[in-house]
Amino acid sequence: MEFITFEQQDFVGIITINRPKALNALNSSVLEELDQTLDQVDLSNTRCLILTGAGDKSFVAGADIGEMSTLTKAEGEAFGKKGNDVFRKLETFPIPVIAAINGFALGGGCEIAMSCDIRICSDNAVFGQPEVGLGITPGFGGTQRLARTVGVGMAKQMIYTGRNIKSDEAFRIGLVNAVYPQEELMDAAKKLASTISMNAPIAVRNCKKAINDGLQVDMDAAIVIEEKLFGDCFETEDQKAGMGNFLEKDKEKKLKVVPFQNK
C-alpha cells in the first residue's frame, strides 16, 4: 500500500493515513486503501483500532481538493459514495475505533474522525467543515454526524460559517473526549485502546452495536435491540469467566487479565 500503514500491537491495530505531503488529504487511492485495510483486519486477534495521520501537523486536511476540482456531477457522486461507504464501514466496524487526531481535521478529516467511536486529539488540532467556502456541502456525512455529535445549533454554526475551531473548543462542545500534548497523544490512544481490549470482546462489540443501532430507532425499539445483544452475551466463555471470577471472590484472580475469547 502506498498511503496506509497498519501496525498490530497486541490486540490493538493502528491504521495510519500516510500522505504527509498533502497533509494526509483523502484522494481516491487513500479511500481505496483504507477500505482494503479494514477488510484485512484480523478480527480474531484485534479488539480495538486506532486511526491517525502521519506527521505532526495534520490528521486529515480533508478530501483532496485537487482531485475533486475537475469532477463532473457523476464523478462527484461516485467519489462521495466511495468516501461514504468507507466511513460507514468504519462507523459500523465490529470493534471500537479511536481517532487519534494529531493536527488538522478539516472537511473530510473532521468527517472521518466523526465516523470513529471515540475522538481524542493533540493540543494543536484544528477542526472545521470549510466546504461552503469551496462551493460544496460537506459530502462525507458531515451534515449528519456533526449535528448528532455536538448538537444541531453548534453543527449549523460550524457548517454555515465554515469557521475552524481549536482543540480546546472542540473539547468544550464535545467533539473530542480529551486533549493531550502532541507528544503524548499516541500513548494516550494506545492506553485507551489497551484498556478496551482487556474487556470481554464479545460484550464490547455488542455494546457498540447496541449504541449505534439503538440511536437509529425509537426508545421502545432501541431497548429491544439492547435486550437481544445482552442475551447474546450469555453462555459465552467471557460471560462465564467474567462472572465466575467475581463470584469466586479471589482477589488475586480478579486482578489477573481474564482470558476473554474472541467470537
Name the residues that contact ligand DAK, by CB under 6 A. Answer: 22-23, 25, 61-66, 76, 79-80, 83, 104, 106-108, 130-131, 134, 136, 139-140
Q: Which 8-state DSSP code applies to residue 215?
A: T
| Beta carbon of residue 139, minimum distance to ligand DAK (angstroms, whole number) | 2
Q: How far apart are CA 107 and CA 18, in angstroms?
A: 18
What type of residue is 192?
A: L
> Which of 2, 67, 111, 184 is an active site residue?
111
Q: Which is nearer to ligand DAK, 131 or 238 (CB)?
A: 131
Least separation in angstroms between CB 76 and ligand DAK: 4
DSSP symbol at 121: E
Q: Specify the DSSP class assigned to residue 92.
A: T
Task: Name which of 162 and 242 has its Cβ closer to ligand DAK.
Answer: 162
Collapsing DSSP states into helix, strand and coil, what is residue 163? coil
Please, which residues bridge with residue 259 across strands? none
Positive or negative, the CA dihedral 135, 137, 139, 140 is positive
**Residue 165 CB, nearest approach to ligand DAK (Å):** 13
- Give whichever of 59 and 260 is closer to ligand DAK, judged by the CB atom: 59
**Sequence-ordered list of residues with C-beta below 8 angstroms from that of 86, at least 6 positions apart, any chain:** 31, 34, 35, 38
| Cβ at position 59, least distance to ligand DAK in Å | 10
Q: Verify whether residue 131 is a known catalytic residue.
A: yes
Taking CB positions, which residue lies at the least distance from ligand DAK? 139
Radius of gyration for the chain, computed over Cα atoms and rounded to the nearest angstrom? 19
Which residue number, 96 or 107, has a Cβ lying nearer to ligand DAK?
A: 107
Is residue 235 part of the annotated active site? The answer reads no
CB of 61 or CB of 207, closer to ligand DAK = 61
Q: Which of 7, 32, 91, 131 is catalytic?
A: 131
d(CA 140, CA 229): 29
Query: Cell digits for 44?
Result: 480474531
Query: CB–CB of 127/149 below 8 Å?
Result: no
Distance CA 40, CA 52 (A): 18
Catalytic residue positions, numbered: 111, 131
